Chain A
Amino acid sequence: MTAAPPVWPLTAGGTLARRNPTVKLALLFVVSLVLVFIFDPVTPAALYLVALAAIGSSTRLAVKTMALGHVPFLAFGLGILVVNALSRPGRVLWEAGPLRVTVEGLSVGGSLALRTLVIGVLAIGFIVSTDGVALMGSLHQHARLGSRITYAVLAGYRMLQEMPREWQTIRQAHAVRAPLRPDGSLPGGLSAHGRAAYTLLVVSVRKGERMAQSLEARGLGLTPRTVWRKVPLLRADWLMAGAVILVLGGIAYLSHVLGFLEGYGALR
């Protein structure tokens, strides 16, 4: 009975997978917050390269997966870059008819785009290295998230797992009575999807009700309660937090010394 206290098995994957989920989430938040005040392209570019290297090595993610994960952030970043380059007033770099690209636009747009990439690569690192269930457990333990909310989210996660199967069955069940298209194929279309979504909603709400009753029957909400397998919060987690903040501050300082760092002033 005096065995070591049970802990969450955070062992699969690379180094980052073994770090505490709440700490990782907090660091993602801190880096994003700091980036809000940076408007030059060089500082986020440096941060991006460091983050990419750190995430790549600590998650051992395949290059292809990493590249695919970048696609939405790249697309979003590119959009921001183009809009800023074309719309921001300043020194004209290139002009053709109504189109006009400014130096300031490129600089601010580039900064914002690179900011997106930094947050993107960190988010990729967070998602691939974090088990959703461990995250909820850790938030419950380390961020004082209430047990009712924690387990409601976990139960919702389970419902989500079953939804694709349910969706497919509902679509098939509806298709049986739907009129065929002239070429003999089954109809798709927005209204068919809308009807299926309504059915899925009703079925899911009722299932949610039953699950809520099950959770209550299991005693969810009783106090005091214990936590079986604690998600560990180790010295290594604090070391990682310190290292990330040091690197962040170091790069910002270096960028300032070299004359690259710009804040809100860049927008004027």
Chain B
Amino acid sequence: MPVEPALLLDGVTVEFPRRKTAVLRGVTLRLNPGEHLIVFGASGSGKSTLLQAITGVVPHTVLSTLGGSVSVKGTVTTDASVVELSRHVGVLAQDPSSGVCLPDVEQELALPLENRAVPPEQISERIDRALRAVDAAGLRHRQTDRLSGGESQRVALAASLIAEPAILLLDEPTSMLDPSGLAAVRQAIDAATAAYGPAVVLVEHRLDDYAGRAGIAGLPGRAVVLGDAGQVLADGTTAEVLVSNARQLNAHGCWLPLEAELFAVTGRTGGLEESCVRSALRDLAFANDGGAPKVPSAGGTVMAARNVCVSRGADRKKRGRSRHITPTMAGPEPPILENVNFDLRRGEITALLGANGAGKTSLLLTLAGLLSPAGGSVLGPRPGMVFQNPEHQFVAHTVADEVRQGRTDASEGFFADLLKQHRLTHVAEQSPFRLSGGEKRRLSVAAMLAHNRPSLLADEPTFGLDRRDTIATAAAFRQAAEAGRALLFSSHDLRTVAALADQAIVIAERTVIARGPIFDVLRDRDILRRAGLRMPPLLDWLLAEFDTAAEIRCVLRGLDAAVSAEAPAQRPTRRGA
């Protein structure tokens, strides 16, 4: 007699009222207890809807029609409420800050057990076990608002497994984490699923990060590909599925493990170890040479930091009083950064690098005049700034009004051009909050560029975006630089940095430890180590292989060129919109 499947989807079709086509179409899938599955697909292919159909959110919470049947450990989802289904399903969502709901870590972990009527005397022991499984035993007595993103996500993982569900759903669990948080959560997922043994369904587009150095072997063993029409295109072992679908997934903006990406571009397997892959990359460096944009020659200085000292305390002391952009004396709180000196020049893109918590955001806020420097001065005209979460910037009810904000003097044609240039014309009348992640980012950049400030600062502008949107954001920045602006952006993604930036500023040890041309900085092992920066294997190889920045750029742009710029014809579904 066969074992009862952990999950069984039989001809599942999901339709939403205001969309003409089905989001999922005839999806049939059987998952055995303890089996690990990854779902591939471009944004809009129904990956999130698939997860919602398993938790019962579709059709119970979200207005939708479900055809076929979904059963979780023998329970048909239409027969049970979402809460009732939670007995079998654990969920780890994307956003660390809303995955943890209660003020203390202990309570957060006790809640699932209390809800399932676990005898109180067993609870403490199970909390310990769950926290040990995610390597977070030390967090037990912490308050949840003091946790970092990676810590929150590990606590949320422990809470989703503590009641021993049959299935664990992972919905882009690492996409909003910095590199150190990502590594810790990634490890915790492996350890905890080994300890608790649930069946796993993973949805993720940043597969290169998720897989890590292990490459394809770092992904779940079985893979399913969802097509643009919501149907299952392929189902098999991950290695096979990736080989047969790599080109298409890469074109659709998935971040693939390097080996799969190189296969998609060069048509050869084996990754960087293989000599024919390497020679194909070398060809890329030269074949693409003519098409590569020229490195713009830098113009005059538009912003300069002179002995700037960054402190969050300087502002807090005088909060509620005047917010003048004038230097004040440092408070008793030690400064985050001292002796910061650099120039930003016209037409030049500078990357701001440093570990999490090194003070990148505070430095950008200080340069933008939003935090008073605790010492020194920032010279130059007022800069623009784009924030990490684009939603924080939105003030208007429509996209068209958003770009007009603070610019009553410009002509209608100016705004129409701006929207067209950033591919926002088709959503001009929508609410900014209802856009997709990539559109939100483009809008935040467009709305800032509308002000024609000579310099633009950006805090992690490509964070959480899929690859297509990352490339589009980088293109918008390059365009702004070519138009004569000076750009400074912070990022953890060294590959994007290498493809985009001309210069780099590295902060660590409370000051600037290096500044100079980007590849000079990236070649300096000592600087990278002191700043806690980890070089991706591709970049490592490119730096060893090529001498000039132009050649490295050509390869990176050649790889990016394999990603199609156009979104699929179908509009993507918005999660939680």
Contacts and interface: CB of A to CB of B under 8 A. Distances in A.
A216 B111 CA distance: 11
Given A2-B121, A186-B369, A222-B115, A207 B382 contact: no
A183 B324 CA distance: 9
A1 B83 contact: no
Interface string B476-497: 0000000000000000000000
Given A184-B324, A185-B324, A6 B82 contact: no
A62 interface: no
Nearest to B111: A218
* B57, B87, B107 interface centre (most CB from chain A within 10 Å): B107
Nearest to A172: B370
Number of chain A interface residues as a range? 35 or more
B325 A185 contact: yes
Given A176-B368, A176-B384, A229-B120, A155 B393 contact: no
* B102, B110, B117 interface centre (most CB from chain A within 10 Å): B102
B522 interface: no
B101 A211 contact: yes
Interface in A1-33: 1-3, 5-6
Contacts of B122: 1
B406 A179 contact: yes
A208 B447 CA distance: 27
Contacts of B116: 219, 222, 225
Contacts of B391: 199, 202-203
B492 to A, nearest CB: 19
Contacts of B97: 162, 207
A29 to B, nearest CB: 25
* B89, B122, B391 interface centre (most CB from chain A within 10 Å): B391
Given A219-B112, A226-B118, A175 B370 contact: yes
A226 B116 CA distance: 8
B114 A227 contact: yes
Contacts of B322: 185
A222 B119 contact: no
A251 to B, nearest CB: 39
Interface string A195-227: 100110011001101110111111111101111
A174 B405 CA distance: 10
B447 to A, nearest CB: 7
A3 B368 CA distance: 58
A147 B111 CA distance: 10
A92 interface: no
* A178, A222, A228 interface centre (most CB from chain B within 10 Å): A228
Interface residues of B, number: 68
A174 to B, nearest CB: 6
* A188, A207, A211 interface centre (most CB from chain B within 10 Å): A211
A151 B111 CA distance: 9
B83 A220 contact: yes
B382 A225 contact: no
A173 interface: yes
A173 B448 CA distance: 11
A175 B365 CA distance: 11
25 contacts: A5-B121, A133-B107, A147-B115, A155-B102, A158-B100, A158-B145, A161-B103, A177-B405, A185-B323, A202-B433, A207-B97, A210-B93, A210-B98, A213-B57, A213-B93, A214-B91, A214-B101, A214-B156, A215-B111, A216-B82, A219-B115, A219-B163, A225-B114, A227-B114, A230-B120
Given A169-B392, A228-B123, 18 more contacts: A5-B121, A151-B102, A162-B97, A169-B389, A174-B393, A177-B405, A179-B406, A185-B324, A186-B323, A203-B391, A210-B95, A211-B101, A213-B57, A213-B61, A219-B83, A219-B116, A220-B111, A225-B114
